[in-house]
Amino acid sequence: KAATVETPVAEKAAPKPTLPINSQTIETEPKVKIAGRSRRMFGEFAQEQPKKDEKIDENALSSLIESKLEALKERAKTETPAPKTTEPVNDQTFQREQPQLYPIIDPDYDETPWWKISARKYGVAVALLILAATGFYGFVYPKYTQTVRFERAEELFHANDFRKAKAQYELFALKYPLDPRISIVKNRLEALDKLQEKENLVQDKLHKLMERATIAYKQKRYLVPEHDNAILYINNILAERADYSMALALREQIVNHYFEMAENALEANQYEMAVDHFQKIRQITPDDPVIADQINRALELRQLDERLQKLSQLAKAKTDVNKLRQEMERLKSEIRSEQQKLQAIREMQKDNAPVQAENKNRNEKEITGAVTAPKSVIENSGS
């Protein structure tokens, strides 16, 4: 019976046709044959029987098989498609089945966003690149910084800016004690320390001289006595340090004092006294061409005054006296114009003196290691 049932069921359960989809074929799964199912079910049923009852009644077995086959037939009827109707070809309408399109699925396709893929692919490379750059920076940059610091210190040293050079050398020695150039740095620091000691002695000497010059100025001992006057101490200071601003400012005040005295003497026709004051100014500033010209003018006025006095005593003609007076007035006017020019020059010097004095005072306060010693002395005491 199983053989008679298997053949028609297998014919009805033919596999479905395949549809082409983008040059790909997806085959439908054929239905399972009833005969195979019956065999499986029968096998399962046979396995369920207890091993003790090996001898089973044949009638009961045949009835059981028949009932199973009937159930399978009913099930096959419900699953098999309805038979096609035989109609004339002209009366038949063929409906083309619309093919179902399925997307081509690449088994290697990954739906992960591109930026995540890039991050995964290039993340390791970027990390390695960063590590390499960090290693290069950590290895090369410190050496570059060491070289720059050393060259900067040497540049300041040879430019005689010893205060800044010492600061750079000390910083270099503190940060790079194992550098091969540390011996040069130590020699430079030793030389700068010696120069610092010498500079301290010079500063003490200049400070004491400036105190004495200030006391003499307040006591109006400008040029006398010969061995204890303000100009003497000022000249000693300028011989040691030509740009000492405090000494220059004090000397300018003394010159202005004598200049005012000379002008007052000229206004009072005291030409001898005026010449004496100009001579004192010339003693203080021997290289001033304006003062030399003023002295010559004052001497001419003094000579004219002497001539006028002689003419008045001899009672010469009034015409000669008037001529002499006119000449004297002309010379006075020239002297006044020269005095005005000189006064303008002095005013300009006064205006510039506070700025220069302030700048130089600030530089002196900042000076701790600046020394104007010859470079040969520094190099001999150094490396």
Q: Is residue 328 part of a domain?
A: yes
**Cα separation, 161 vs 113, whole angstroms:** 63
Based on C-alpha coordinates, what's the Rg of the chain?
A: 62
SS3 26: strand
CA 280 – CA 254 distance, rounded (Å): 10
CA atoms within 13 A on the CB side of 131: 6
Tell which residue, 197, 165, 191, 206, has the closest CA to residue 374.
191
Q: What is the pLDDT of residues 103-148, one digit of tens each?
A: 565 566 556 666 565 555 566 666 666 665 565 545 544 566 888 8
Q: Quote the distance between the C-alpha of residue 240 and its chain's center.
A: 42
Last residue of one domain, picked from the residues 38, 60, 79: 79
* Token reading at 322: 């008037």
Asked if pLDDT for residue 360 goes beyond 80, the answer is: no
Q: Within its chain, how far is the Cα of 75 from the centroid?
A: 90
Residue 353's pLDDT is: 62
- 190: three-class secondary structure by DSSP: helix
Asked if residue 50 belongs to a domain, the reply is yes
Range of weakest confidence among 90-94, 110-114, 148-152, 308-312 = 90-94
- pLDDT tens per residue across span 2-37: 444 444 444 444 455 444 444 444 444 444 444 444
Share of residues in the chain with pLDDT > 70 (%): 56
d(CA 34, CA 318): 171
Residue 171 three-state SS: helix
How far CA 122 is from CA of 127, 128, 129, in Å, comes to 8, 10, 10
- pLDDT per residue as tens digits for the range 33-81: 444 444 454 454 445 554 444 455 677 888 888 888 888 888 877 765 5
Please say which residue of 79, 104, 130 terminates a domain: 79
Residue 124 lies in a domain: no
DSSP states of 128-160? HHHHHHHHHHHHHHHHHHHHHHHHHHHHHHHTT
- How many distinct structural domains can be found in the chain? 2
Amino acid at the residue 208 = K
> Where would I find the H helices in the chain?
2-12, 34-48, 58-79, 114-158, 162-175, 182-218, 230-240, 245-267, 271-284, 289-314, 318-366, 375-381
Of 65, 72, 61, 56, the closest CA to residue 13 belongs to 72
Query: Do the Cβ atoms of 223 and 231 come closer than 8 Å?
Result: yes
d(CA 357, CA 252): 11
**Mind listing the pLDDT tens digit for each residue in 240-299?**
888 899 999 999 999 999 989 988 888 888 888 888 888 888 888 888 777 777 777 777
Domain assignment of residue 35, given as a range: 2-79
260 in a structural domain: yes
CA distance 249 to 256: 11
Residue 135 lies inside a defined structural domain of this protein: no
Q: Examine residue 151 and state whether it is found in any structural domain, yes or no.
A: no
HSE-up of residue 117 (Cα within 13 Å, Cβ side):
6
H/E element, 249:
helix 245-267
What tens digit of pLDDT does each residue of 154-191 get?
Answer: 998 888 888 889 888 998 888 888 888 889 989 999 98
- Domain presence at residue 91: no
CA distance 210 to 237: 7
Q: How far apart are CA 210 and CA 246, in angstroms?
A: 8
Q: Would you list the DSSP string of 203-237?
A: HHHHHHHHHHHHHHHHTT-SS-STTS-HHHHHHHH
Q: Is there a contact between 40 and 63 (Cβ–Cβ < 8 Å)?
A: no
Task: Mention every residue, 6+ apart, whose C-beta is less than 8 A from residue 205.
Answer: 240
Instruction: Report if residue 264 sits inside a domain.
Output: yes
Q: Which of 79, 105, 123 is the last residue of a domain?
A: 79
